[in-house]
Amino acid sequence: MATALAAYLDFLAAQRRLSPHTLSNYRRDLLRLEQVLAGRALAQVQAQDIRRCVAQLHGEGLSGRTLGRLLSAWRGFFAWLGEAALISCNPCLGIRPPKSPRRLPRALSVDESAALLTPAEDENEALGARDTAMFELFYSSGLRLSELAGLDLAAVEGVLVEGEVRVLGKRNKLRLVPVGSPARAALAAWLNYRPRLAAPEEEALFVNQQGRRLGVRSIQRRLAERGRRQGLAQHVHPHMLRHSFASHVLQSSGDLRAVQEMLGHASIASTQVYTHLDFQHLASVYDRAHPRAKR
């Protein structure tokens, strides 16, 4: 089992070119399979064994969403074993996780987004300009955290001249995303301060006080701190700005395909959650405004 797991993870890294974060998730899910099989030979695993594992983990408190992710990782692993002629059939085929309530992503309102993008009065001038540029780009383009942290200075030329940014998304897929004028202005302002902080030959667009590329954890902390300083009631995390971007664009345009393209979703099913979020917003407006909404 351990040898097969190591070979499969090497395959995912080399052939499918998954990110280190995704590989870590796969490794954790497959180690869970190794634990529940308790030394059973892979070629002897049957569908009833997988069902028993799922039932056992569900009884331990794992949600249907988590079990669905586990089954997806296991299914891919057994499919790879089958292609290598190490097993005769995939025991995970046809097995579904228990259903669990679907959680809607949390998004900021337009007013909350505007407050978050306003620099706090007590912020350091250079760092405030950097943070504002980062958060404006987050909200303007719906980037993932890893995509924002991975931007190089060379990407800014396309942003300022053409109004779009080229990002490297999941599985090394390139996509072009439009950038609004406030984000372009914030980036131009940050470029005036960047030479004071950046180390020589540093390629990163956003750098820390040591002059090196700003890491994802630092971006998370800076965003949460900006939210607290601006008096937002909820904890603000980077994906919330991505959710806000998608929700606000969909509310204004109703174009689900365009939102899918800008977010870089492989399947439109991932984007459709924002239609539910949009309906939730409309329902809240109805509850507040319609005279017959409440007794």
Q: What amino acid positions are annotated as catalytic residues?
A: 144, 170, 239, 242, 265, 274
Q: Are 189 and 205 in contact (CB under 8 A)?
A: no
Neighbours of 254 (CB within 10 A): 11
Calculate ∠ Cα 98-102-105, nearest 5°. Answer: 150
Q: Are 59 and 52 in contact (CB under 8 A)?
A: no
Neighbours of 99 (CB within 10 A): 10
- Cα separation, 50 vs 18, in Å, equals 25
Neighbours of 6 (CB within 10 A): 12
What number of CA atoms fall less than 13 Å from residue 180's CA on the CB side? 14
- Cα separation, 38 vs 34, in Å, equals 6
Task: Enumerate residues 6+ apart whose C-beta is below 8 A from 225.
Answer: none
Q: Are 250 and 74 in contact (CB under 8 A)?
A: no
